[in-house]
Homo-oligomer: A and B are copies of this chain.
């Protein structure tokens, strides 16, 4: 029996394009592909929908779309395929309504289920399984919207038996009350059902090491059930969240096939109807030992508890670096295309972050797109900053404009002196430069319709080392999930892959905001290699002040970092969406009260 894995890429709620895809895949013009066709979780709606799934406009459109699919299955699809020829298994939402007390509208949503719909020619969408483990941590709010299923299911179709799972269902954990995999196992035993394979329809967000973790867990489950594990994931970038595809079929310890990374794909493989397994011995729920849910959220730090030296961030090697560049490019392009941008705009400072943003944006550029850079020197900018900005733009073939702010800055100083009788100095004088730059780059954006890409990194964001409405502006943040030391690593990897793409001096010169004479980051902050580790430990929520001190960091440094971190929640609250590539990032999944609660850690 042929199994097809449709690793699809559609915008959220783009019913037209989803319907076109379906019609095209099974049209009479196309070579017939009998068998079982598996689509991702929530293929019919897109994901995440957030509150969209509660709005009457969305619901009405979606119900209409479901009707269309049913008519299509009964007419066109059944003209092209016999009832026993194809079986479509598609993720979607299943709405249940109740009459409402509210006199304004007749019906309100009673509950919504995240289900697998089965569709065969001549019939209608039939919900055969409801997701049981609804993630509700970090970026996930599924229990806010969906009602969990409580019943394991095995689909029998044309002599093939498939155990059904949706995304999170596959993960074991100490913190989950249920284990849908083990329940499915025992259900197969109790019902004396044979199994040919397990399938998992997923909408699983990308982060570093996630692919490896999914495959490890898939192998574990394939070994447990003694049948192949078929994993179908979606592709897409939804604001900050990326879906990488990377669908995979695993049999015991072997990977049979793998879907593309951040690209739509269609995989197929042959499932032998003779190779079926009858599980006979029920299993007790036992404490998960490896490939656990908790493991997905460990801080990316190594060397904790080791005798020699301080812990350090996990190193980004060349392979991982390439993966990150691909993810960031994809996230940028998705946001731009969905928002209708064809032009990009980057403010260069002559420093590391903006250079890396420029390089990655340039590498991601598609036909018909344009990229422009602006250098906005102030009175403390060193001439080398312009030279380096000019060098990288020449290297990348990007048009560079120099838009000096010195005169505006001086005007502001004079204005403040006259009006307030107080000299503009200190933080005020530093920030005004950054905010003038913010105003100017958005002026240019208004002029050309270009999308401004934010250039802040995760270290700056964490300690508030940026100017609100100044260098923190942007439609989306490319590096907001990478610590400064990782930014450097990534720049070096890019230079290995594309020799000389980033001028070496940008990488080696000391980091500086150039907002006052001879300013250097390290005058205000601990060295980044220590800062970044402390931050990663704090952000995981698992470490407090005492834990970090025990690692060997100095009390003065730890206190300084914690204070900076706690005091800058308000800046992060108004920050742009950040392309998420880590399990713990700032953004939607990070929810800490803004008002000071400085006594902790």
Contacts and interface: CB of A to CB of B under 8 A. Distances in A.
A600 B58 contact: yes
Interface in A85-126: 98-102, 104-105, 108-111
Contact of A335 (B426, B574, B595, B601): B595
Given A407-B415, A426-B446, 8 more contacts: A11-B595, A56-B543, A60-B546, A108-B174, A141-B144, A143-B144, A340-B596, A574-B576
Size category of the A interface is: 35 or more
Contacts of A428: 443-444, 446-447
A446 to B, nearest CB: 4
A427 to B, nearest CB: 5
B577 A338 contact: no
Contact of A143 (B136, B403, B422): B136
A416 B401 CA distance: 10
A541 to B, nearest CB: 4
A389 to B, nearest CB: 14
Interface in A363-416: 401-404, 407-408, 411-412, 415-416
A288 interface: yes
Contact of A299 (B13, B104, B440, B596): B104
Nearest to A294: B102
A547 B56 contact: yes
B294 A596 contact: no
A531 to B, nearest CB: 18
B469 A447 contact: no
Given A52-B593, A108-B174, A420 B444 contact: yes
A432 interface: yes
A478 interface: no
Most interface-central of A428, A446, A473 (chain B CB within 10 A):
A446
A101 to B, nearest CB: 5
A564 interface: no
Contacts of A426: 446
A435 interface: yes
Interface stretch (A43-51, A74-82, A216-224, A346-354): A43-51
Contacts of A174: 98-101, 108, 110
A168 B469 CA distance: 39
B239 A594 contact: yes
Contact of A407 (B105, B411, B570, B597): B411
A302 to B, nearest CB: 11
Contact of A600 (B52, B402, B403): B52
